[in-house]
Structure 1
Amino acid sequence: MDSFISFMEKRFLPVAAKVGNQRHLIAIRDAFVTTMPLMILGAFATLINNLPIPAYTNFMNSIFSKTVGKGAEKAYIWTKFGGNAWSGTFAILSVFIVFLVAYNLGKSYNINPLAAGVTALGSFFAVGGLAGMDSMGLFVALIVAIISTEILRRLLGNKHLVIKMPDGVPPAVAQSFAALLPSMITIAVFSLFATILLGFGVENIVTSFYKAVQEPFQGLANSYPSALLLAFITPLLWFFGLHGANMIEPFMQTINAPAITANLNAIKAGKAAPYIVNKPFFDSFVNLGGTGATLGLIIAIWLVGRKNKQYTIVGNLSAAPGIFNINEPLTFGLPIVLNPILFIPYIATPMVIVTIAYFATSTGLVPAATVMPPWVTPPIIGGVIATVSWQGGVLAAVNLVVSTLIYLPFIKIATTIALKEEAERDQAA
């Protein structure tokens, strides 16, 4: 085990650290973190409209009996709340993302972040973003945000393209004129690119890209191997002291929003939810107590590790935040980081319970996750909310029990070693 850790520290850790500090990935991660409240609101609002409980629907229809629209569009007025909230959240998600990614990236380059965000937004609409303002345009939004900011920062570095205003002009006005020509050129480049593709028969870049790349990618990311890989990578990175959840967040979010949207649309149409793997799936059934399902680790300490003073103290202190899926006190206090005894269960537990959760969902025993509760929602409750079913709570409870059972023998080994070391110290004294 020591040789493995030494090898990983030498070969893997430098590469992983470099990836984790990559400015483009950080910009994408921070953009999605900013939009998280909107995504949660949009999912909950749609849930209110589509709860699969006839008694609830009939009750709401009887209280708010007024209808709007005609023909197939006719609906009870109370359902418009969810529709309106959706229009202000998921329906314009790509618009938020293209601006925020460019804003964060511009800030990391020490150029005017507002100019970067506005330029990226204009560039996105120049290539057909109007047809993909929702999650359908997410991949194109990310690409446009990165490329437009890279073009803009290089143009801003050309003194011949910067219009300098005289002293005394307000800073906001001066910055706006400084970015005027670079922004115009950047948007023009994307407009020209879209025009050239139009000559080759590509009428809209966003919709064409979605059909050719994004939709197949979602299907690939929805597979069991991809779920297993995500369950493996995150704790592996954490084991070496790297924030695994933050590092894979950009990838997770690119499959998350489209998957939730597709699931909700399918359920609304009376069909089965097509996508199993998304963020609420991991938050509710895999990351029970945090990465590595460490709530099970705390329970295992209470059951068989009480004689291990260090583990007991840290476990007790970590229990309260662990209930809300915050496990940094446990990760660095126990520690889990570079702890050879806990390496196997910390990596294996998420892979085992993600397997249970995936096949429980794919076989129809548990509904697919369609609602994104806040990641700090306690286990079991999160499973109920994410799937809008009691089965989700049962699955989370089963996975919590399984995670505890996996950790038990390793905590017992750690306790035995700790007691032996304590006895040796006493004997030496």
Structure 2
Amino acid sequence: MDRFMDFMERKFVPVAAKIGGQRHLVAIRDGFVAIMPLILAGSTAVLLKNTIFSWIASLEVLIPICDQVWWGSLAIMTLLVVFSTAYSLARSYDANALASGLIAVGSYFATLPQSHGDAGWGYIHWGYLQATGLFTGLIVAIIATEIFVRLTKRDLTIKMPEEVPPAVGRAFAAVIPGMITIFTFGIVFLIVDNLGGISLYDVIYEGIQKPLQGFSQGVGSAMVMAMLINLFWFFGLHGANIFDPIMNALYLPALTDNAAAIDAGMQAPNVITRVFFDTYVHLGGSGATLGLIIAIFIASKRRKEYREVAKLSTPSGIFQINEPIMFGLPIVLNPILFIPFIITPGILTLIAYIGTAIGFAPPTYVAIPWTSPPIVGAFLATGATAASWRAAVLAAINLVVSVIIYLPFIKLADRSRKKETAK
């Protein structure tokens, strides 16, 4: 174990730290965080429409409000992410963030066809703007911002006299870089169109996004993803933040697909969504550390510091915040807790996948806040319907399993303290 820890500290941690601080990944992560209020608003609208407003006849008149909220949030998610990601990336370069965001949005539209089906010219299908367009939108946002920022830093700008208001000066400074950027994507559209493609979106969706999403629905890949997050956490790196761009790009479209299907009265197509992990796997935070806290209360007799940290960490753990126990116990670089901390997410993912796939629990389709308490969160994420109690039971089963996994290792830690005091 000592050799393994030494190897990981020398080889893995420096590389992982670079990945975690990578400018573009950070921009994508911050871009998704920025639109979280809109995602939650849209999910709440879907939830209300399919529960309270549908159950009570007198409230059905309010359903159009939910439809419009969804239309202004989840239905245009890609558009929102394009702007917020470009804005965040430009800020990291200390460039004109507002102009970058606007130009990225314009560039994304420049890659889309101007008609859809028999609708005629000037009609853009909303499918290009919802979550299925995230891959294309993120690629365009990053490339457009890189082009704009590099041109701006080369002073390829129109400089106005000092008397001109700063806002006007910044706008004129962005003219030439912005024009070149959006024309670049207009050329991309022409090339794709002449090569027989419909649009850049269709090329990326069919060639990259669809295969990746199909792969991500496999239980094996989901288990690996959950365990990798904890591997980063074990070495003191925020695994959830590092993998957030990947998780959102792969599993948010699955969540919105489920929501759209259920809203249309059909079967949800995906077992694993973005919320699936917060609902069934990250119980108390990454590594299901609420299970660890409970295991400490049950089995830790000699390690008083464990019990004190567990007491202090319980309130935050209930709301899925585990930094107090992660760094207070600590779990970070703790060789005794390495095995349960890494394997627990994988096992919980497998159990939740089986429970959902066989129909015991309904699929998740509501984007709940990640701070939602375990068990309650499962009930809400599956629509708070008559069948959602089974999702709550599944989350409770996973919590019990996490306690069982951690228990022998807490006893081992207790035994090691006994040996220390006996010397």
Q: TM-score range by the shorter chain?
A: over 0.9
1:252 counterpart (247, 254, 273): 247
2:263 counterpart (263, 268, 273): 268
Aligned to 1:151: 147
Contact 1:301 1:315 (8 Å CA) reproduced = yes
Aligned to 2:29: 29
1:222 counterpart (199, 217, 238): 217
Aligned to 1:212: 207
Partners of 1:306 and 1:124 lie apart in 2 by 60
Gaps of 5+ in 1: 65-75, 425-429
The alignment status of 1:89 with 2:86, answered yes or no, reads: no
Contact 2:20 2:242 (8 Å CA) reproduced = yes
Q: What whole-Å deviation, never above 9, does each CA across 1:289-338 have from its counterpart, x for those lacking one?
A: 00000001000110010321110111111011000011101000100000
The within-5 A match list for 1:72-87 is: 77-87=61-71
Which amino acid is 1:112 matched to?
N
Partners of 1:219 and 1:264 lie apart in 2 by 18
Gaps of 5+ in 2: 114-123
Partners of 2:38 and 2:55 lie apart in 1 by 28
The alignment status of 1:193 with 2:188, answered yes or no, reads: yes
Which amino acid is 1:3 matched to?
R
Aligned to 1:382: 377
2:364 counterpart (351, 361, 369): 369
Contact 1:232 1:347 (8 Å CA) reproduced = yes
Superposition deviation, residue 58 in structure 1: 5.1
Which amino acid is 1:320 matched to?
P
Q: What whole-Å deviation, never above 9, does each CA across 1:25-54 have from its counterpart, x for those lacking one?
A: 000000001111211111121122223x9x
Partners of 2:67 and 2:392 lie apart in 1 by 28
SS at match of 1:287: coil
The alignment status of 1:174 with 2:158, answered yes or no, reads: no
Superposition deviation, residue 208 in structure 1: 4.0
The within-5 A match list for 1:3-402 is: 3-51=3-51, 57=54, 59-60=56-57, 63-64=58-59, 77-128=61-112, 130-131=124-125, 132-159=128-155, 161-388=156-383, 389-402=388-401
Contact 1:126 1:187 (8 Å CA) reproduced = yes
Superposition deviation, residue 193 in structure 1: 1.2
Superposition deviation, residue 206 in structure 1: 1.8
Q: What whole-Å deviation, never above 9, does each CA across 1:273-303 have from its counterpart, x for those lacking one?
A: 1111122110010000000000010001100
Contact 1:50 1:268 (8 Å CA) reproduced = yes
Aligned to 2:121: none
Contact 2:81 2:134 (8 Å CA) reproduced = yes
Query: Any runs of at least 4 consecutive aligned residues in structure 1 with deviations exceeding 3 A, and if so which?
Result: none
Superposition deviation, residue 5 in structure 1: 0.6
Partners of 1:311 and 1:237 lie apart in 2 by 22
TM-score, with structure 1 as normaliser: 0.92
Count matched residues: 407
Partners of 1:364 and 1:158 lie apart in 2 by 58
Among the aligned pairs, what percent are the same residue? 49
Aligned to 1:419: 418
SS at match of 2:91: helix
Contact 1:137 1:207 (8 Å CA) reproduced = no
Q: What whole-Å deviation, never above 9, does each CA across 1:132-180 have from its counterpart, x for those lacking one?
A: 1111211111000110111111211233x21111112211111111111
Contact 2:90 2:97 (8 Å CA) reproduced = yes
Which amino acid is 1:396 matched to?
A
Contact 2:288 2:344 (8 Å CA) reproduced = yes
Partners of 1:115 and 1:176 lie apart in 2 by 7
Partners of 2:112 and 2:226 lie apart in 1 by 36
Superposition deviation, residue 182 in structure 1: 0.6
Which amino acid is 1:281 matched to?
F
SS at match of 2:4: helix
SS at match of 2:365: coil
Partners of 2:70 and 2:186 lie apart in 1 by 29
SS at match of 1:340: coil
SS at match of 2:336: helix
Superposition deviation, residue 372 in structure 1: 1.5
Partners of 1:86 and 1:220 lie apart in 2 by 28
Which amino acid is 1:121 matched to?
V
Superposition deviation, residue 270 in structure 1: 3.2
SS at match of 2:35: helix
Contact 1:136 1:207 (8 Å CA) reproduced = no
Q: 1:419 to 1:134 in 2, by over 3 A?
A: same
Which amino acid is 2:54 matched to?
T
Partners of 1:408 and 1:40 lie apart in 2 by 36
Partners of 2:274 and 2:421 lie apart in 1 by 43
SS at match of 1:207: helix
Partners of 1:203 and 1:407 lie apart in 2 by 53
Partners of 1:46 and 1:137 lie apart in 2 by 20
